[in-house]
Amino acid sequence: MLRLWSAISCLLLASAAASASSQSFENSAIVRTIDLGGSLVHVTTTFAVKALKEAAGVYTITLPEDEIFNTSWLEVKVKGKQQPLTVTYSGAPAGSKSHNLDVSLEKPLEAGATINLVLETVQTHTTRPWPQQAAQDEDQSLKYETSLFVLSPYNTSVQRTKLKSSSPRIIFYTEPENVQAFTLENPVTKSGSTVTYGPYSNVPPSANQAFLDKYQQRVVLHYSYDYPVLEVLKLRRAAEISHWGANLNIQDDIVLHNAGPRLNGHFSRLQHQTQSFYGRGAPHVLPLFTVQLPPGIRNTYYLDQIGNVSTSHLRVAPSVSRGLKNTQNSVLELKPRYPIMGGWNYTYTLGWDAPLGDSGSYDPNTGKYIVSIPVMTEIPGAVVNDAEISIILPEGATDVDYVAPFPALSNEISTHVTYLDTIGRPMVIFKYKNLTNKHAKPIYVSYRVPISAHLRKPMAVATVLLVLFTFAMVARRVDLTIYKTPTKKM
């Protein structure tokens, strides 16, 4: 939540702005599509907007309070365009449990002009397993709750909400009440795996407490979900840049959690194997998963609390620096020692080395190195509740700077001392909460390494060797009987 506040920042006090702008637009249509998942729920809302006044340049989007608290990622674009628009938080409309976001259009619209705006959000932790427990051979179903109406400070000609499940087995959905003012037909319809609320016509401005009190309501969908619900409780990523050997080492320490229904009864491996043999593994059990790693990696290691896990498959794509136009990733299939049942945790470490040239470069104009480090490696469908990314720079690096794809909850630059370091290495740390697949983007770090720092490590190695060598020479000359004598006496 904090991240969202800071991402859309600033203007906390401008809550009066809405009334001034509310006559500037109307919505010809709003369509909200909710892709029901496990830990992540992707919501795309398209606003077909018409300007009612000259020079209408700021369009206001309103999100209900409960929704904004669970939204971990948000972006607004003009339909068909790549570049996101600037979004600023502009406060809660007086007395209502909702929040306004002001979207600055690239250029103001003329009266009568139209534009399609697309709001994309990712909600985290908004589904819950129901029932809360399941036996090893039972199905998994989840409940999701949202509000019926998409809110807007403007008049809306027609709006609808589509909830899309990955399976047509929808167990329950709420019939809305008191919507006769907006539709004469069925207020909700189900077709295959989609439940549609609306179309609702001629909806007045709804971002006010009077509308919320009169018409807004919760709708619940209970649906079968055929994949495990995954959460990364903790991600600790350490990326260590070494100019010596031109290597980038990345190590992830991960606590993975199956947030599906808790296992009812005992785990039976025999039953699990029989089910898997017949291709009927229960949807809430995680036997293996696949992650995409960079091309050209070496020395990949995968350990859990017991030790090496050998039951994994790695297919390495060639390094990008080999001159080939390679867009392929390496693919690692991780197969934990035992299947992860609902409610269980799995702690593991995954690490690899990659050629530094694949993600770093030297800019002769500024004399600085720039290295890109991905915030995380996506585990498909999983939210990362708590992440800490440490980037360890070469010893003696100065003028450290970074550009993160989105603001961190906290940042610090500190020093990390490892074996053979003389003065320690600068380290940049980023802390995040509730990361989604949309956050798997690179952090860019730039720094300067003075020539003297390049020499420092060889010097340190030379010094250590010299000391060892001297010690060996001395040791050989020492009469070992000195040490034997006392033991003989005992």
Ligand X SMILES: *[C@@H]1O[C@H](CO)[C@@H](O)[C@H](O)[C@H]1NC(C)=O
Site residues (CB under 6 A) for ligand X, limited to 369-428: none
Q: How far is the CB of 452 from ligand X (least distance, A)?
A: 36
**Position among 147, 155, 165, 330 found at the interface with ligand X (CB under 6 A):** 155
Burial class (CB in 10 A: 0-12, 13-18, 19+), 421: middle
Closest approach, Cβ 38 to ligand X, in A, equals 13
Tell the smallest beta-carbon distance from residue 222 to ligand X (Å).
13
Is 141 or 155 the residue whose CB approaches ligand X more closely?
Answer: 155
Question: For ligand X, which residue of 15, 44, 53, 66 counts as binding (CB under 6 A)?
Answer: 66
**Phi first, then psi: what are they for 477, rounded to 5°?**
-80, -15
Stretch that binds ligand X, among 31-39, 178-186, 343-351, 387-395 (CB under 6 A): 343-351
Is residue 140 within 8 Å of 226, Cβ to Cβ? yes
Residue whose C-alpha is closest to residue 430's, from 467, 405, 461, 462: 405
| Cβ–Cβ under 8 Å, residues 242 and 249 | yes
With CB under 6 A as the contact rule, the residue among 84, 343, 357, 381 that binds ligand X is 343
User: Would the CA dihedral through 191, 173, 223, 97 be positive or negative?
Assistant: positive
Stretch that binds ligand X, among 65-73, 107-115, 168-176, 441-449 (CB under 6 A): 65-73
Nearer CB in complex with ligand X: 314/440: 314
Stretch near ligand X under the rule CB under 6 A, chosen from 21-29, 38-46, 238-246, 352-360: 21-29
The window from 22-30, 135-143, 161-169, 317-325 that contacts ligand X (CB under 6 A) reads 22-30
Residues 218-247 that bind ligand X (CB under 6 A): 233
CB of 410 to ligand X, least distance (A): 11
CB of 434 to ligand X, least distance (A): 4
434 to 453: interface string for ligand X, x by CB under 6 A: x-------------------
* Other beta carbons less than 10 A from residue 140's beta carbon: 22
What is the smallest separation between the CB atom of 309 and ligand X, expressed in angstroms? Answer: 9
**Total residues contacting ligand X (rule CB under 6 A)?**
26
User: Residue 248 Cβ, how far from ligand X at the closest point, in Å?
Assistant: 20
| Binding span for ligand X by CB under 6 A among 187-195, 224-232, 339-347, 350-358 | 339-347
Pick out residues in 185-214 that bind ligand X (CB under 6 A). Answer: 205
Q: What is the token pair recorded at 236?
A: 């600790």
**Candidate residues 114, 268, 308, 328; the one interacting with ligand X per rule CB under 6 A:** 308
Residues 356-386 as b/e (b if ≥16 CB within 10 A, e otherwise) read bbbbbeeeeeeebbbbebbbbbbbebbbbbb
Q: Single out the residue of 21, 22, 39, 165 in contact with ligand X (rule: CB under 6 A).
A: 22
Chosen residue from 78, 255, 291, 440 binding ligand X by CB under 6 A: 255
Is the Cβ of residue 76 or residue 387 nearer to ligand X in the bound state? 387
- Residues numbered 115 to 154 that lie near ligand X (CB under 6 A) are 124-126, 145, 154
Pairing of strands 25-35, 156-164: parallel
For ligand X, the closer CB: 205 or 394: 205
**Single residue of 433, 437, 448, 453 touching ligand X by CB under 6 A:** 433
228 neighbors 235 (Cβ within 8 angstroms): no
* Closer CB to ligand X, 137 or 386, in the complex: 386
| Shortest Cβ 96–ligand X spacing (Å) | 15
**Nearer Cβ to ligand X (59/154):** 154
Q: Interface with ligand X includes 290 (CB under 6 A)?
A: no
Q: Is 70 in the site for ligand X (CB under 6 A)?
A: yes
**What dihedral angle (degrees, nearest 10) is formed by the CA atoms of 154, 49, 198, 45?**
-100
Among the residue ranges 180-188, 338-346, 366-374, 439-447, the one whose residues contact ligand X (CB under 6 A): 338-346
Choose the stretch contacting ligand X; rule: CB under 6 A; options: 27-35, 63-71, 111-119, 174-182: 63-71
Binding ligand X (rule: CB under 6 A), the pick from 86, 132, 189, 345 is 345
- Contact call for residues 127 and 77 (beta carbons, < 8 A): no
Residues that bind ligand X (CB under 6 A): 1-3, 22-23, 26, 66, 69-70, 124-126, 145, 154-155, 205, 233, 255, 257, 307-308, 343-345, 433-434
